[in-house]
Amino acid sequence: MSFENPAISLSARVAELNKRFQNTDTVEMLREITSDPAFGKLALISSFGADSVVLLDMVAKIDRALPIVFIDTEMLFHQTLSYQRKLAKDLGLQDVRRILPSREAVLKRDSENLLHRYDTDACCTLRKTEPLARALTEFDGWISGRKRYQGGARMSMDLFELDAEQRIKINPLAHWSREDLASYIAAQNLPKHPLVAKGYKSIGCAPCTTPSGTIGNERAGRWRGQTKTECGIHFGNNAPARPVIPRAVIVTDEGFETEDWAAGFHSFASLATLPEQEKAALAIDLKGDFVAKDLLPWIGQIDLIRVSFPVFSDGRGFSLACQLRLLGFVGRLRAKGHIVADQYAMARRSGFNEVEIDQALARRQPEPVWQARADWQIRDYQNLLRQSA
């Protein structure tokens, strides 16, 4: 944002704007914010969905050159695409930017266009959130057509908000009702999305949208059968965070267990200054790039070493574990972090006793998947070559 006085915090600015425009007519407010240089470069984000035409019509009457960002997830209804072209022509919109997901990312993460079937969140991230984030980098603020009556997290939405990137986000229709929209469309004789006549009141991607039904929440047709209600582009500072339970799961050959180490973990750097009484039960955290021989002075005093794996594709920890064993470490050795079940045998063969994962990973890869590799001692070529039978 390009507000001049840095002494006034952005959130204070937003509060002030909400107060200033609380009783302003929507078109008037749009005219003011799009002509006020303090707002910097703005874009209207439009899905060209069921009632997008209202905001598009207002903007067209104020400034046809205002950039309009249209996220084409490549999963939209063909009716949405033809409706988009029709509206752009009828309203004379001069700068509609059709944003596509990254070619490379789709090739890597959804080559068969089936991601929506098993992970709708990942699909929205790939096809909506990431492309929008890219498109928004050149703007200082954005205008969205969300309404409070749509329910969910939208019920408490203000006219002005800050998004996660500290950009201003404007919701000019926040206080509009369904009836307000219908009467505006009728009064201005605006074309309707072809699917509205078929019972769709909120229109997203074809695989994840069904007709809404006649009563209840009009977004009920989105991700039907799931708890999901938002695609992710409208999560900001005040967004409801996804629940994350940080409690650790310890995986051993016997299965899932809970943490049994109560004494806490120290860093390697703190070992030199650690009071003697703390060494009675001693555990340390190491990273994969640690030089194993540096631990030699303490190696006999340590009960548990925990090696972190920030990403499962970084295999340094396996070599570190091997070296620690070769240098004579006989205590508990634990791999912690992003280890997948398919790596369990590798971890055990490298000298680890156990693996520590978080609840989210444990939910995705439950106990039986790990237990399937508890047979890590058989089919081991290296062991065959190292030790005579």
Partner 1 sequence: MYNYTTFDKDFVATRAAQFRDQVQRRIDGSLTEDEFRPLRLMNGLYLLLHAYMLRVAIPYGTLDSRQMKALADIADTYDKGYAHFSTRQNIQFHWPKLQEVPDILEALATVDMHAIQTSGACIRSVTSDHFAGAAQDEQADPRPTAELVRQWSTDHPEFAFLPRKFKIAVTGSAQDRAVTKFHDIGLRLVQNASGGPGYEVSVGGGLGRTPMIGKVLRDFLHREDLLPYLEAILQVYNQIGRRDNKYKARIKITLHEHGLEDIRQRVEESFALQRARFDGADQDVLARIEANFKPPAFKAASTSRFETQRANDPFFNAFTKTNLHPHKNPDYAIVTVSLKAHGATPGDASSAQMRALAEIAKRWSHNELRVSHEQNIILPHVHKGDLPEVYEALRLAGLATANIGLISDLIACPGMDYCDLATARSTNVAQGIALKFDALKQEHSIGPLKIKISGCINACGHHHVGHIGILGLEKGGVESYQITLGGDGTQNAAIGKPTGPGFSADEIIPAIERLILSYLTLRHNASESFLTTFRRLGPAPFKVTLYPAKENQNEL
**Catalytic positions, written as ranges:** 231
Binding piece for partner 1, criterion CB under 8 A, among 22-30, 81-89, 299-307, 362-370: 362-370
First to last CA, the chain: 71
Each as own residue / partner, the long-range contacts of residues 179-182 (CB below 8 Å, 24 or more positions apart, any chain) are 181/51, 181/54, 181/147
Among 111, 137, 273, 277, binds partner 1 (CB under 8 A): 111
Stretch that binds partner 1, among 33-41, 84-92, 217-225, 376-384 (CB under 8 A): 376-384
Does position 315 interact with partner 1 (CB under 8 A)? The reply is: yes
Rounded CA separation 16/236 (Å): 19
Does 384 sit near partner 1 (CB under 8 A)?
A: yes
Judged by CB under 8 A, the residue of 4, 23, 37, 107 near partner 1 is 107
Q: Is 27 in the site for partner 1 (CB under 8 A)?
A: no
Dist. CA 178–CA 188, nearest whole Å: 16
Distance CA 30, CA 145 (A): 12
Nearest approach, Cβ of residue 130 and partner 1 (Å): 14
User: What is the Rg, in whole angstroms, of the alpha carbon atoms belonging to the chain?
Assistant: 28
Among 177, 226, 267, 319, which residue interacts with partner 1 (rule: CB under 8 A)?
Answer: 319
Choose which of 186, 263, 327, 330 interacts with partner 1 (CB under 8 A). Answer: 327
Does 118 bind partner 1 (CB under 8 A)? Our answer is: yes
**Under the criterion CB under 8 A, does residue 119 sit at the interface with partner 1?**
yes
SS3 of the chain: helix, strand, coil, percent, to 5 = 40, 15, 45
CB closer to partner 1 out of 54 and 362: 362
Least Cα distance to 245 among 69, 363, 341, 110 occurs for 363
The answer to whether 352 touches 334, Cβ cutoff 8 Å, is yes
Q: Does 313 bind partner 1 (CB under 8 A)?
A: yes
Q: In what order do the strands lie in the sheet with 160-162?
A: 96-99, 68-71, 42-45, 141-143, 168-170, 160-162
Question: Binding residue for partner 1 (CB under 8 A) from 350, 354, 356, 362?
Answer: 350
Enter the DSSP assignment of 376: T
Residues within window 274-293 making contact with partner 1, judged by CB under 8 A: 288-289
Q: Please name which of 325, 323, 360, 361 lies closest in space to residue 343, comparing C-alpha atoms.
A: 361
> Is 115 one of the binding residues for partner 1 (CB under 8 A)?
yes
Q: Is 227 in the site for partner 1 (CB under 8 A)?
A: no
Contact status: 47 vs partner 1 (CB under 8 A): no
Q: Is 312 in the site for partner 1 (CB under 8 A)?
A: yes
Which is closer to partner 1, CB of 154 or CB of 325? 325
Which C-beta is closer to partner 1: that of 29 or that of 126?
126
Count, residues near partner 1 per rule CB under 8 A? 48
What are the strands, taking DSSP E only, across the chain?
Answer: 42-45, 68-71, 96-99, 141-143, 160-162, 168-170, 248-252, 255-257, 266-267, 283-286, 304-309, 332-337, 354-358
Helices (H), 166-302: 178-188
Residue among 145 and 288 whose Cβ is closer to partner 1: 288
The three-point CA angle 115-155-360 to 5° equals 40
Which span (18-26, 34-42, 115-123, 190-198) binds partner 1, by CB under 8 A? Answer: 115-123
Footprint of partner 1 (CB under 8 A): 107-112, 115, 118-119, 122, 288-289, 312-316, 318-320, 322-323, 326-327, 340, 342-343, 345-350, 364-366, 369, 372, 379-382, 384-389
